[in-house]
Every structure is written in C-alpha cells, then in structure tokens.
Amino acid sequence: MAMVKISSQVEEAEWTALQDIARESHQSISGLLTEAIADYVRKRRLRPVVLDHLEESMDENEELGRRLAE
C-alpha cells in the first residue's frame, strides 16, 4: 500500500500519551495513527447508513412506538 507523508499539530499531552501507547504496545506512531484514522473514517462513513436504517425502522414501527409510549 502506498504511504502518504502528513504533517499536523496536536496538543503535547495527547502526543505524549500516544508515544506511551506506542511504546507499551510495541507499535510505531505511524501504525497507531493509521489505525486511528482508519477507525475514524469507518465510523464517520457508517453513521449516516445506521441513522438512515434507524429512521426507516421508526417510520415502519410508528404505531408500535405510540402503543409502547402509553
């Protein structure tokens, strides 16, 4: 897989915590950042799909919802 070099700024406390995790887990900072970015992207892309399904379910079960609320 092709790698892309990035540059960013983070708060010092978060950077230190990330370095600690990398050291404790015997992983590289690059590996941890790649994992974190992949997780973030997966969650952001999944959320609209889940919300669409939730809305559909609520529409389909509107009468049941009213009955349960009584």
Q: Which comes out higher in pLDDT, residue 39 or 43?
A: 39
Please name the helix (run of DSSP H) or strand (run of DSSP E) that holds residue 42, with its range, or none. helix 29-60
| C-beta atoms surrounding 6 within 10 Å | 8
Mean per-residue pLDDT of the chain: 90
Domain boundaries, the chain: 25-69
Q: Is the pLDDT of residue 26 over 90?
A: yes
pLDDT digits (tens, 9 = 90+) for 41-59: 988 887 777 788 888 888 8
Spatial distance between the Cα atoms of 36 and 4, rounded to a whole number of angstroms: 15
**Average of pLDDT values for 20-35?**
96
Q: Is the pLDDT of residue 9 over 80?
A: yes
Spatial distance between the Cα atoms of 13 and 3, rounded to a whole number of angstroms: 26
Tokens 């990330």 sit on residue: 18
**Is the model's pTM score more than 0.85?**
no
